[in-house]
């Protein structure tokens, strides 16, 4: 059963934050920064070890104030190779609230700027994995909110250095359990090191049993000794590999995965059959960004919550690009009936969600938020909103820069295996591009290729309707239920959607579908579009692709080495695509995954083929 996160409630004594729950300080009374440098950096032979590496991974038990992370980040940016990347993974059962960290960071002037950058992207205190990109993407911080052993059991990574920084074993024995040490052994790369301030015999014995050679070193401050050690095997640099890929599909799936690979030093041939990016379903004028919470914390809920918050952070990363158009205006998700009213209220008040993520609002407050009378209470997502998908595609490719070569108006007729990878061929047999890796991001059209014909994908036609904005027709937020309507976009229209027709691939707009959209809109916002003629409105239809359980397919195509898919985004592409792109790029590179491994495994094409 999922448990709400109980935030830390630190007190302050003698210049250090102190946990009343564990009766232990968060850092040494002899100096937090100096302790970090002595115990965790020097104890793991850092920064020397990362200076010869393209990628280095640290796992910390006990994020606490973030002091160890900020200190490691500061030294990494000063001493690592310019192209090197740091993955920092940290677990915490009782994370700090943002406001507590803000006041703490002001007391460490040398880290205040990095602390501010962290807090700009600090995730909400909801259970699960949260990946943040910092320092222009050079540093990835993955925070695991929850009980340490449970979270580490869900982590997929190869760790080079461990910072064991839980409260003292005598104060917090759960953080030093045999089950946790077994997870450290599973996650350790050959030759991995660890360091910890404690010299407790139990820790020494358990780390030895886990496969580490353990020794004592001089401790910091008033602590006479500390432990450090090395895992079995020989540390080695990553083998050189050719980082080139073909990506087929120029919508949000294709452009976002191309950008994520480009951030890792890849060059990509992006092939799109239309005359530019986002000409198919990703060409809709607006899409809604909202999660789908649930009472049982099911896979859909976990993935959409992680994807929603990751998407918000990526939009923040892209926000300097003038091409990007989006509005975090908030989303109201109205209840359908009395049964759903009770369910929504119970979930919103479960304690799992802080109010900045989700609140339940009655019909009166919902109407005030919307700026129009609504017929029901519902969920309020203050951080939700709408996004213009073509502008997101443009921003992603602008960020990738010259690493991506776009082949527009080139349709791939066949994908052929070669000795060195994959070759994309057009209808005349001419080679469009070839590379060691190929990624299918072209929706249901992926099933046209013999190598991927068995994928369980099906097309779903969806049509949106655009009604003119005007002074007598204005709302402040996205309102949704079976359908949705946006506030006036920068294009001067409200976008209303969307129909759902399985099996059809017809992209011509239909009057009857406009009529259906307007009927749903009237149930959401009575009289909002009473004068709109469905025969005289604009709109467009696109073909979405869904898998057997309406979750995306992300990962390797079984039996086809070097062939991957990012497919089946359905009607939640804006929530799924950014995180799915990061997941796929991480998997291809052999990096720590950004979500729980049971969730990642369940999204793979191999797992979905077993469901079909």
Write the DSSP string, 233-272.
Answer: S---PPPP---EEEEE--SHHHHHHHHHHHTTT-EEEEEE
Whether residue 29 has pLDDT greater than 60: no
Which residue has tokens 């997101």?
A: 392
* CA–CA dist 109, 95 (Å, integer): 22
Contact assessment for residue 129 and residue 144, using Cβ atoms and an 8 Å cutoff: yes
Whether residue 26 has pLDDT greater than 60: yes
- The whole-model pTM stands at 0.97
Per-state percent for the chain, helix, strand, coil, to nearest 5: 35, 25, 40
The pLDDT of residue 22: 63
Task: Specify the pairing of strand 431-435 against strand 267-272.
Answer: unpaired
Picking from 243, 248, 238, the residue whose alpha carbon sits closest to that of residue 261 is 243
Mind listing the pLDDT tens digit for each residue in 378-405?
999 999 999 999 999 999 999 999 999 9
What sign does the CA torsion over 220, 223, 224, 229 have? negative
Picking from 29, 163, 220, 33, the residue whose alpha carbon sits closest to that of residue 108 is 33
Residue 564's region, left for phi above 0, alpha for psi from -120 to 50, else beta, is: beta
Q: What is the mean pLDDT of residues 419-446?
A: 97
Q: What is the mean pLDDT of residues 84-101?
A: 95
Taking each continuous run of H as one helix and of E as one strand, the counts in the chain are 16, 32
Contact assessment for residue 541 and residue 461, using Cβ atoms and an 8 Å cutoff: yes
Contact assessment for residue 413 and residue 425, using Cβ atoms and an 8 Å cutoff: yes
Tokens of 132: 């943040």
For every residue of 560-573, DSSP letters joined together read -TTEEEEE--TT-H
Mind listing the pLDDT tens digit for each residue in 255-310?
999 999 999 999 999 999 999 999 999 999 999 999 999 989 999 999 999 999 99
Size (the chain), residues: 612
What sign does the CA torsion over 598, 602, 607, 612 have? positive
Tokens of 540: 């467009």
Interaxial angle between packed helices 573-589 and 252-262, expressed in degrees from 0 to 180 and rounded to the nearest 10: 40
The pLDDT of residue 20: 63
Whether residue 18 has pLDDT greater than 90: no
What domains sit in the chain, N to C, each tagged with a CATH number? 11-231 (3.40.50.150), 244-281+390-457+549-609 (3.50.50.60), 328-386+458-546 (3.30.9.10)
Q: What is the mean pLDDT of residues 235-258?
A: 92
Whether residue 137 has pLDDT greater than 60: yes
The pLDDT of residue 170: 65
Which residue has tokens 């290729």?
A: 449
Whether residue 183 has pLDDT greater than 60: yes
pLDDT class for 2, splitting at 50, 70, 90? confident
Tokens of 256: 């976002």
What is the share, in percent, of the chain residues with pLDDT greater than 90?
85
Cβ-based neighbours of 428, under 8 Å, separated by 6 or more: none
The pLDDT of residue 167: 62
Q: What is the mean pLDDT of residues 211-230?
A: 92
Buried b or exposed e, range 105-119, using 16+ CB within 10 angstroms: beebeebeebbebbe
Q: Which region among 1-10, 182-191, 262-271 has the lowest average model confidence (pLDDT)?
A: 1-10
The pLDDT of residue 31: 62
* CA–CA dist 456, 295 (Å, integer): 28
Cβ-based neighbours of 178, under 8 Å, separated by 6 or more: 206, 209
The pLDDT of residue 27: 61
């Amino acid at each position: 059963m999922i448990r709400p996160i109980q935030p830390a409630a630190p007190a302050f004594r003698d210049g250090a934050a102190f946990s009343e729950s564990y009766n232990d300080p968060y850092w040494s009374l002899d100096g937090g920064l100096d302790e970090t440098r002595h115990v965790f950096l020097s104890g793991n032979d850092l920064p020397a070890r990362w200076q010869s590496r393209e990628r280095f991974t640290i796992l910390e038990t006990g994020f606490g104030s973030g002091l160890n992370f900020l200190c490691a980040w500061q030294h990494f940016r000063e001493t690592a190779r310019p192209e090197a990347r740091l993955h920092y993974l940290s677990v915490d059962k009782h994370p700090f609230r943002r406001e507590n960290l803000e006041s703490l960071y002001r007391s460490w002037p040398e880290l205040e700027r990095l602390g501010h950058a962290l807090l700009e992207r600090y995730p909400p205190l909801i259970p699960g994995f949260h990946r943040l990109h910092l320092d222009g993407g050079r540093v990835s911080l993955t925070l695991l909110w929850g009980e340490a052993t449970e979270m580490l059991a869900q982590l997929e990574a190869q760790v080079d250095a461990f910072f064991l920084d839980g409260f003292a074993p005598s104060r917090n024995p759960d953080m030093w359990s045999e089950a946790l040490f077994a997870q450290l052994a599973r996650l350790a790369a050959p030759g991995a090191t660890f360091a910890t301030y404690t010299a407790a015999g139990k820790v020494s014995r358990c780390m030895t049993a886990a496969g580490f050679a353990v020794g004592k070193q001089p401790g910091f401050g008033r602590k006479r000794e500390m432990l450090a050690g090395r895992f079995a095997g020989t540390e080695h640099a990553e083998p050189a590999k050719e980082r080139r890929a073909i990506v087929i599909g120029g919508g949000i799936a294709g452009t976002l995965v191309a950008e994520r690979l480009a951030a890792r030093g890849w060059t990509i041939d992006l092939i799109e059959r239309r005359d530019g990016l986002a000409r198919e379903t990703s060409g809709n004028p607006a899409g809604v960004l909202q999660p789908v919470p649930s009472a049982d914390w099911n896979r859909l809920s976990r993935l959409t919550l992680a994807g929603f918050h990751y998407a918000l952070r990526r939009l923040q990363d892209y926000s300097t690009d003038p091409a990007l158009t989006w509005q975090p205006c908030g989303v109201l998700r109205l209840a359908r009936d009395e049964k759903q009213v009770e369910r929504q209220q119970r979930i919103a008040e479960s304690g799992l969600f802080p109010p900045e993520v989700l609140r339940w609002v009655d019909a009166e407050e919902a109407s005030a938020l919307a700026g129009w009378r609504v017929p029901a209470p519902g969920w309020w997502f203050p951080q939700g909103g709408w996004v213009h998908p073509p502008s997101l595609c443009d921003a992603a490719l602008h960020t990738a820069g010259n690493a991506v070569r776009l082949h527009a108006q080139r349709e791939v007729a066949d994908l052929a295996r070669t000795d060195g990878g994959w070759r994309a061929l057009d209808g005349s047999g001419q080679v469009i591009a070839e590379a060691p890796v190929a990624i299918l991001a072209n929706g249901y059209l992926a099933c046209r290729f013999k190598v991927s014909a068995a994928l369980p994908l099906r097309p779903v036609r969806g049509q949106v309707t655009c009604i003119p904005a005007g002074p007598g027709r204005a709302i402040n937020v996205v309102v949704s239920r079976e359908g949705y309507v946006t506030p006036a976009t920068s294009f001067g229209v409200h976008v209303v959607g969307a129909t759902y027709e399985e099996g059809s691939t017809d992209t011509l707009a239909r009057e009857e579908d406009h009529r259906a959209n307007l009927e749903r809109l009237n149930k959401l916002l009575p009289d909002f579009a009473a004068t709109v003629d469905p025969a005289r409105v604009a709109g467009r239809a696109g073909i979405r692709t869904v898998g057997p359980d309406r979750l995306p397919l992300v990962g390797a195509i079984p039996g086809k080495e070097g062939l991957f898919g990012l497919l089946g985004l359905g009607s939640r592409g804006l929530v799924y695509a950014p995180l799915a792109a990061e997941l796929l790029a991480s998997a291809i590179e052999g990096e720590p995954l950004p979500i729980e491994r049971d969730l990642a495994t369940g999204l793979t094409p191999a797992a979905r083929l077993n469901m079909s």
